[in-house]
Amino acid sequence: MHEQRLRNTIKLQRAKLNLTQEQLADRVKVSRKTINTIENGKFIPSTVLALQLSHALGVTVEELFGLERSRA
Amino acid sequence: MKSSPERADLQRRLILAGAIIGFAAAQTAMILDRITEPSYLVHILLIVICLVGWLFFGVQLLLMFKMENSLRKEPDVKLALNDEFVRQKRGKAVAAAFWAVMIVQAAIILLNLVIPFDAGMAAQVTLTAGVAVVIVGFLYYDREDGDA
């Protein structure tokens, strides 16, 4: 059976802008732990936070987040 | 050097850890005093532990109010300390405390069949379990590699 997982490119986009997790957290006014858990796929952000992250990183939400299929 | 939200987060964790230590010490001493019928000396010792525990808990509460007050001047730090991930962890800690209270209540009802429990004692044990689990639960979920 297949299940859909949310993947993200936050780490990649951060690297492009040479931003640390802390700096990105400051830009979107969340804690560094929150950025870390989103990057690791442990926490799925709200639509509002996803939009704030995409604005802070200068990419679209679709570039930042997407669904990937994996076997359950 | 750590950023301000990082420092504030660490400070909050330390205050909560201090609060649970003081609260647990005070409550444990009170409960032991009620159930063990201690000698006069042990009774006095338990009262002293209880008072020190409450004093320590009170100091942590004052530190929390002071921190809350100082964060009014730093709204960005305050927002970061109460972001949606923190709110989710707080919700999970409250849910864990709810189940802890349910389990303790069920245990008291069962134990009451063999050991008589007075209402005051039952309330105190339930309150202790609820407060302890909500604070320890938040500290657990809020650790560095905590799951969502």
pLDDT score at A3: 75
* Residues in B touching A37 (Cβ below 8 Å): 85, 146-148
Number of A:B CB contacts under 8 A?
Answer: 53
- Name the band, by pLDDT with cuts 50, 70 and 90, for residue A5: confident
ipTM: 0.81
Q: Which helix (H) or strand (E) holds A68?
A: strand A65-71
What pTM value is reported for the model?
A: 0.84
pLDDT digits (tens, 9 = 90+) for B55-103: 999 999 999 999 999 988 888 899 999 999 999 999 999 999 999 999 9
How near does any CA of chain A get to the CA of B141, in Å?
A: 11
DSSP alpha helices (H): ranges in B3-83? 4-36, 40-70, 75-81
User: What pLDDT does B143 receive?
Assistant: 82
Q: Would you state the pLDDT for residue A69?
A: 72
Coil/strand/helix, residue B14: helix
Please check whether residue B6 touches A, CB under 8 A.
yes
What is the CATH architecture of A2-71? Answer: Orthogonal Bundle (1.10)
Residues on chain B touching A33 (C-beta within 8 angstroms): 9, 85, 142, 144, 146
Distance from CA of B79 to the nearest CA of A (A): 6
Q: What is the pLDDT of residues B107-148, one digit of tens each?
A: 999 998 888 888 888 999 999 999 999 999 999 998 876 555
B37 touches chain A (CB under 8 A): no
- Single out the residue of A44, A42, A56 nearest to residue A13, CA to CA: A56
| Short-list B47, B10, B41, B2, CA closest to B25 | B47
The rounded mean pLDDT for chain A is 90
List own/partner pairs for A64-69 with CB under 8 A and 24 or more apart.
A64/A8, A64/A9, A64/A10, A64/A13, A65/A6, A65/A7, A65/A8, A65/A9, A66/A6, A66/A7, A66/A8, A67/A4, A67/A5, A67/A6, A67/A7, A68/A4, A68/A5, A68/A6, A68/A7, A69/A2, A69/A3, A69/A4, A69/A5
Q: Do B80 and A37 touch (CB under 8 A)?
A: no
Domain residues of chain A, as ranges? 2-71
Contact yes or no for B110/B57 (Cβ under 8 A) = no
